[in-house]
């Protein structure tokens, strides 16, 4: 792996430690680790593929149903496989033909486009809260770039030896924001966000296709990787040393979600796991009674449920505490896209605010499903399939299709 500096005047952002809060939680609430942690993306941004550090897929934004099409962009000779990210009224997304786009969230107009020869963007980008720090994106040639948010110009590059197929994660630390990014060369790299310089690297036995997720614990930040080597890896975020591995019996490329002391994800073999990373053991394991279908969707966490798409043409909801199936919602196509969780309101001043899962399938259906009941709240047929999920921010839903279309939906007036 090689670091490639690009001259630039960016600065490092520091962050005040919250150790006092952790100590208070441990002292006053010794069972904190078993409680569900909210960890939502802010209402006005979707900064990484799964919204937040813990990979829960949750947002604080509110959508008013029914949704309406705000705009759409049809890009010629393009296809999308990545989740958009959103910040400061801009949508950032790369296509499989090596073009990375910055679009206005309100109008869909192009703010800038950056082209990379002989490469494609499979994974989502990632953003820090400080707008002066670069946007981070990895490509299918294994190059990680820090791009200027306003212009798309390269600030730094870092080379791995394999495709970047899981989106980067931005981790705030006292020393400044760090970029955690996995590669199909089986390495996890921790980079300084401002400069792109490596802080540490960690290698496992097989490819890393997932995005890394992070839990803040009294013992320090813990990074989770669900690997193609058939193990869940628990890694210290400070120095990159492995703390534990738990066997899962087969490969997976899905990004884990964290709820309390449980890590939740599905595998290629059709198993869905809840692993207790404190006890370092499987809390429960679920395999559908019907023929097993692979999970390529990452789970979302909300209301005591883990909600996940399956290649068996459905969305499933499991009770986090027991693994019991709460509901199952059938769709027309495979569901490789990961759910996003929002609050929805159907009628102002009348209907109560409810939580909903936004999912998309390979046949082009976008569905908004009521979390409590598992029933359909809103649906749209886009006409082309989706490999990746939606981003939600500022009362809007943005999703990119396999046929090169970017859709934006807004709540009803």
Residue boundaries of the structural domains of the chain: 2-6+48-410
Q: What percent of the chain has pLDDT over 70?
A: 88
- The pLDDT assigned to 294 comes to 93
- The pLDDT assigned to 22 comes to 34
Which residue matches tokens 């986090």? 320
- Greatest pairwise CA separation for the chain in angstroms: 58
| pLDDT tens per residue across span 153-203 | 999 999 999 999 999 999 999 999 999 999 999 999 999 999 999 999 999
Whole-model pTM: value is 0.89
| pLDDT tens per residue across span 192-249 | 999 999 999 999 999 999 999 999 999 999 999 999 999 999 999 999 999 999 999 9
Strands 58-64 and 340-345, by their bridges, are parallel
| pLDDT tens per residue across span 343-369 | 999 766 556 789 999 999 999 999 999
Flag the least confident range among 1-15, 146-160, 218-232, 382-396: 1-15
Assign 125 a pLDDT band (cuts: 50, 70, 90): very high
- The pLDDT assigned to 2 comes to 41
Query: What is the rounded CA–CA span in Å between residue 393 and residue 410?
Result: 10
- The pLDDT assigned to 413 comes to 65
Average pLDDT over residues 33-57: 83
Average pLDDT over residues 12-18: 34
| Strand ranges for 34-160 from DSSP E | 58-64, 68-74, 85-87, 90-94, 99-104, 110-115, 135-138, 143-147, 154-159
Query: What is the rounded CA–CA span in Å between residue 408 and residue 106?
Result: 9
Fold of 2-6+48-410: Methylamine Dehydrogenase; Chain H (2.130.10)
| pLDDT tens per residue across span 288-347 | 656 678 999 999 999 999 999 999 999 999 999 999 999 999 999 999 999 999 999 976
Mean predicted lDDT score pLDDT of the chain: 90
Q: What percent of the chain has pLDDT over 90?
A: 85
- The pLDDT assigned to 409 comes to 98
Assign 5 a pLDDT band (cuts: 50, 70, 90): very low
Query: What is the rounded CA–CA span in Å between residue 314 and residue 116?
Result: 36
HSE-up (13 A, CA, CB side) for residue 309: 33
Residue among 263, 266, 291 nearest 276 (CA): 263
- The pLDDT assigned to 346 comes to 78
With contact defined as beta carbons under 8 Å apart, do 192 and 44 qualify?
no
Average pLDDT over residues 28-49: 67
- The pLDDT assigned to 7 comes to 38
């Amino acid at each position: 792996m090689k670091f490639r500096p690009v001259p630039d005047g960016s600065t490092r952002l520091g962050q005040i430690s919250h150790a006092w809060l952790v100590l208070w939680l441990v002292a006053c609430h010794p069972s904190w680790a078993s409680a569900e942690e909210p960890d939502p993306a802010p209402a006005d941004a979707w900064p990484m593929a799964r919204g937040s550090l813990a990979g829960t897929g949750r947002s604080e934004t509110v959508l008013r149903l029914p949704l309406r099409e705000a705009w759409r962009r049809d890009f010629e000779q393009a296809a999308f496989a990545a989740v958009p990210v959103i910040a400061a009224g801009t949508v950032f997304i790369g296509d499989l033909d090596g073009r990375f786009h910055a679009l206005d969230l309100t109008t869909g107009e192009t703010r800038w486009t950056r082209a990379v020869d002989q490469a494609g963007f499979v994974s989502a980008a990632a953003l820090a809260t400080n707008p002066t720090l670069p946007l981070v994106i990895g490509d299918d040639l294994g190059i990680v770039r820090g791009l200027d948010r306003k212009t798309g110009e390269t600030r730094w590059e870092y080379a791995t030896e394999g495709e970047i197929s899981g989106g980067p994660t931005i981790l705030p630390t006292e020393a400044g924001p760090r970029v955690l990014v996995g590669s199909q060369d089986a390495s996890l790299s921790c980079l300084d966000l401002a400069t792109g310089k490596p802080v540490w690297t960690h290698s496992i036995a097989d490819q890393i296709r997932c995005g890394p997720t992070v839990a803040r614990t009294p013992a320090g930040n813990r990074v989770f990787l669900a690997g193609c080597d058939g193990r869940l890896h628990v890694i210290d975020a400070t120095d990159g040393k492995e703390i534990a591995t738990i066997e899962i019996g087969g490969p997976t490329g899905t990004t884990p979600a964290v709820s309390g002391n449980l890590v939740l994800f599905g595998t290629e073999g059709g198993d869905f796991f809840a692993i207790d990373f404190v006890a370092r053991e499987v809390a429960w394991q679920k395999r559908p009674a019907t023929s097993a279908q692979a999970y390529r969707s990452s789970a979302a966490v909300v209301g005591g449920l883990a909600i996940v798409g399956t290649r068996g043409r459905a969305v499933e909801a499991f009770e986090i505490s027991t693994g019991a199936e709460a509901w199952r919602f059938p769709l027309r196509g495979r569901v490789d896209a990961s759910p996003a969780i929002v609050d929805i309101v159907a009628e102002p001043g009348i209907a109560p605010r409810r939580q909903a899962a936004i999912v998309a399938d390979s046949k082009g259906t976008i569905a908004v499903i009521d979390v409590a009941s598992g029933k359909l709240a809103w649906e749209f047929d886009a006409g082309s399939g989706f490999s990746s999920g939606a981003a939600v921010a500022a009362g809007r839903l943005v999703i990119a299709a396999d046929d090169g279309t970017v859709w934006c939906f807004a709540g009803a007036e």
